Structure 1
């Protein structure tokens, strides 16, 4: 049994999916399968069982996963603390950020922070989905996450950065294009395109529509992964899009109309685990975020 086997097991156990684990760990799927089979053979335990095309942890596997996750967390935190205390090299803070923010709001602030901490801190940026950010924070492959979240988890610190309101997008020649504001009920009779419920933002749309009493009344197609795909379809058709107001929409010839919804569609947070070894630098970064808002 070696450290790689334990890291592979921790990732596969968390995801219960070899393909996703192989992508996250940047190794081949056969390598992961062989590593787990060797681990099971060495321990003489069955850690996973097949369930259709998927795998699930056994009760024994779930018990071992908790032990391995705790042990790896202690090891990684200890190593990072020793390196941070003794290294003359800049500390690298790994940031997972959703694409709509990584090229606009974030770089200026991170550059300013690097200038204020010359030769102390550098940032490694990754443009990924909210789901990948949350998984990376949990696995400690990211130190800082910039993403939209619906709820706050214990053990994490959060700072709200941006709010993206509900809007409707239509083609310039659409009947609604001259409206200055819309109610969700104004969308009755329209073909409405929005995000797939597989995404957090898609789930937020569904909850809002239900609370407003229009979920079962709209001609709704909730099948799209982002604003780009929705905007492309709206620009080429008579459909309307129900989306968050993001930078992606600027590339399209569309009219944006505010929606009288009781809440913002998406709130972007900076977040990190409270026990992160770089807590002090991350705390200072949160303070800089606050200064930018004044």
Structure 2
């Protein structure tokens, strides 16, 4: 049994999927499968069972996964702490950030922090969707996440950064373009373009429409991955877009109209795991985020 086998087992056990684990670990699926089978032979334990076309952890596998995860965490944290104490190069904070924030709000704050910690701190930015940020934090691919979320995970610290309002966008010659504010019911009779329910923001839109009692009265086309694709369709048609107010919309010839709903569509948070080896640095960064928000 070696360290690679334990890391492979942790990834397969956490995902319960060989294909996804192979992709995350950057190894071939046959190599990963062979490593797991060899581990089972060496330990004389059955760690996984087939359930239809899928695999699931056995009870023994679940028990071993907890032991392995704790052990790897102690090892990784210990190595990271030693490296941080002895490193002569700046500490690099890996940041996973949603695209609508990575080119606007975030760089200003991070640059200010870097200037206050000259030659000590640097940031590595990754533009990724919310879902990948959350899994990336759990897998320790990112030290800091910047994303919208409606829920809180145990062991993760959160700091609200900014809010993006719920708005309607229409073309300048649209019948609704002159309105100062809209009710969701005003959108009846038009194609309403919004985010796919595969995204968290798409799920938020759907929940809001249900709570407001209008989902069955509107013609909703929830097929779009972002504001750019929605805005592109809206500016040359009579469709309306139901979106978050982001800078992506500034590139289009559209009219933005506030919509009367009792909540913002998206609240953006900074988040990091409390057990991150760079906890002290991230805590200081959170103070700067808080000051900027105030």
The residue correspondences of 1:117-266 to structure 2 (distance < 5 A) are 117-266=117-266
CA distance in 2, matches of 1:31, 1:249: 46
**Alpha carbons 2:162, 2:293 under 8 Å: kept:** no
Tell me if 1:60 matches 2:60. yes
Give the aligned length: 294
**Which residue in 1 is equivalent to 2:15?**
15
Shift of 1:53: 4.2
Displacement of 1:39 in angstroms is: 2.4
Compare 239-248 and 228-237 and name the one that shifted more.
Answer: 228-237
Query: In 2, Cα distance between the equivalents of 1:19 and 1:178?
Result: 52
Distance change >3 Å, CA 255–CA 66, structure 1 → 2: same
Aligned pairs for 1:22-101 within 5 A: 22-101=22-101
Rounded to whole Å, the distance in 2 between the matches of 1:239 and 1:260 is: 19
Cα deviation code 1:220-255 (max 9, x no counterpart): 122222222222222343221111111222222222
Partner SS, residue 114 of structure 2: helix
The structural deviation recorded for 1:197 is 1.7
Counterpart CA distance in 1 for 2:7 and 2:60 is 17
**Deviation (angstroms), 1:218:** 1.5
CA distance in 1, matches of 2:97, 2:75: 26
Secondary structure at 2:197 match in 1: coil
Mapped partners of 1:34, 1:242: distance in 2: 49
CA separation in 1, counterparts of 2:158 and 2:60?
34
Per-residue deviation at 1:206? 1.4
Deviates more, 1:261-270 or 1:231-240: 231-240
- Separation (CA, whole Å) in 2 of partners of 1:236 and 1:55: 48
TM-score, structure 2 as length reference: 0.93
| Alignment partners' CA distance in 1, 2:198 and 2:47 | 28
Residue in 2 aligned with 1:108?
A: 108
Q: Unaligned 5+ residue runs, structure 1?
A: none
Q: Distance in 2 between matches of 1:74 and 1:31?
A: 26
> Residue 242 of structure 1 aligns to a residue in which SS?
strand
Deviates more, 1:2-11 or 1:48-57: 48-57
* Aligned-partner Cα distance in 2 for 1:150–1:278: 25
**Which secondary structure state, in structure 1, belongs to the residue aligned with residue 250 of structure 2?**
helix
Aligned to 2:273: 273
**Partner SS, residue 27 of structure 1:** coil
Counterpart Cα distance in 1 of 2:151 and 2:77: 26
Cα distance change of structure 1 residues 216 and 46 upon mapping to structure 2, 3 Å threshold: farther
Q: CA deviation at 1:52?
A: 4.4
Cα distance in 2 between the residues matched to 1:47 and 1:229: 45
Runs of 4+ in 1 over 6 A off after TM superposition: none
